[in-house]
Structure 1
Amino acid sequence: MREVQLREQICLMAKSLYDRGLAHGSTGNISARLEDGGLLVTPTNSSFGFLDPAKLSHFDAKGQLIGGDKPTKEMSLHQAFYETRGAKAGAVVHLHSHHSVALSLFEDTDKDDFLPPLTPYPIMKLGKVKLLPFFAPGDAAMGEAIRDLASAHSAVMLANHGPVVAGSDIASTIYAMEELEAAARLAIETRGQSVRALTTDQITRLTASFSA
């Protein structure tokens, strides 16, 4: 995709997230890889509802900022996913979405498999989501925590903070993020009730047929 088209797509899809309440205020950040290996990134303290395509932070293939406004302070997160997932990572999205954050607050939430296996699509689009400890916004240690996972996960949940998803392109990454938030909402709405989750065999078949 040409740079001008990617700039427009980032802003259009970010506004969609904002308009539907999946991002609020100046929270969240998005990055996407350019054909030349560079990155376009949403600026720090910017609102998804009012992004300017011309002001997106522009990094070259060597990771140097060459244009646009000052980038998000969460660059360590984005860079870690691009470094560890290589060609699999064409975009990274980080939100502070309500239900996923709420689910991360419960002490008994599974740290190795954050989303209960209630429906197939989170398994198909995300695989197992790793719950990481709390990190203060902008803490470079977040990037190190991602690197320690050695590309084993396409999505992580930062406890008391928000989810991060990496995908092949901006559209599929945002769709996967939306699936994560919907699954977290379903998990909270059914919490404490007797539910019929997917069986181990069903999960195995989904995992074998679909790769996050």
Structure 2
Amino acid sequence: MSEDARMREEIASLAKSIFDRGLTHGSTGNISARLSDGSILVTPTGSSLGRLDPARIAKLDSSFRHVGGDRPTKEVPLHAAFYETGTSETGAVVHLHSTHSVALSVLPDTDPENVLPPITPYSIMQLGKVKLLPYFMPGDPAMGDAVRGLAGKHSAVLLANHGPVVAGKTLEAAVNAMEELEATARLALLTRGHNPRLLGEAEIRQLEIAYPRS
């Protein structure tokens, strides 16, 4: 099986897993993955992540021009910004409208510099600091410009009133990090107002040293 075919199957399989567990719904969310030749596979516009046909997944060339498959998601500029500003190892981008993350994005006391409180080590290890970006209309290329403005310093962002976006070295890594973001957002909401004991600065620094994020 070719790399292209294998990646199409992996996108469809992981997308269905995300959908079946309620991390996305309806026709929301989109996923992309970069192949070794620089081309990009990306989920089609208006498609359900729970019912993807691998053969119809859109293909873009290394300049993000549509060259095959169904019409790609309107969020291509958002995905492109992560590939263009991340490291050469950035291999996938996942964008969802997951419930708890969106809820966290609209609360007035959410820290825009780091939306996730340090509840467990795993969000620090997998995500680092997650920046809150302002609201943009879906499909607005300005979302990509906002990501470029971060100069590759964040592998994950939360779009206000919209949802999280996570980049990873592999598709599986990006999906795992996205799931960690949503789980931590849920914990943040569950513990809000209960004065939870969070990890301290020394504990966070220890994790950053032990699990550096390039």
Tell me the TM-score normalised to structure 1 length: 0.98
Distance 2:212 2:88 in 1: 14
Q: Which residue of 1 aligns with 2:83?
A: 82
Distance 1:202 1:31 in 2: 34
Structure 2 SS opposite 1:101: helix
Structure 2 SS opposite 1:185: helix
Cα deviation code 1:6-58 (max 9, x no counterpart): 00000000000000000100000000001110000000000011100000010
Question: Once superposed, which parts of structure 1, at least 4 consecutive aligned residues long, lie more than 2 Å away?
Answer: none
- Structure 1 residue 60, shift from structure 2 partner: 1.5
Q: Which residue of 2 aligns with 1:202?
A: 203
Cα deviation code 1:100-159 (max 9, x no counterpart): 000111101000011001100000000000000011100000000000000000000001
Question: How do 1:105-184 residues align onto structure 2 when only pairs under 5 Å count?
Answer: 105-184=106-185
- Count of residue correspondences: 212
- Structure 1 residue 75, shift from structure 2 partner: 0.6
Distance 2:5 2:212 in 1: 30
- Structure 1 residue 177, shift from structure 2 partner: 0.1
Unpaired runs of at least 5, structure 1: none
Distance 2:110 2:89 in 1: 28
Structure 1 residue identity aligned to 2:31: I
Structure 2 residue identity aligned to 1:135: F
Structure 1 residue identity aligned to 2:77: S
Q: Which residue of 2 aligns with 1:95?
A: 96
Tell me if the contact between 1:125 and 1:211 (Cα under 8 Å) persists in the aligned partners.
no
Tell me if the contact between 1:123 and 1:206 (Cα under 8 Å) persists in the aligned partners.
yes
Distance 1:84 1:138 in 2: 19
Tell me the TM-score normalised to structure 2 length: 0.97
Sequence identity percentage: 59
Q: Which residue of 2 aligns with 1:48?
A: 49
Structure 1 SS opposite 2:41: strand
Unpaired runs of at least 5, structure 2: none
Distance 1:81 1:194 in 2: 35
Tell me if the contact between 1:82 and 1:89 (Cα under 8 Å) persists in the aligned partners.
yes
Distance 1:203 1:113 in 2: 13
Structure 2 SS opposite 1:31: strand
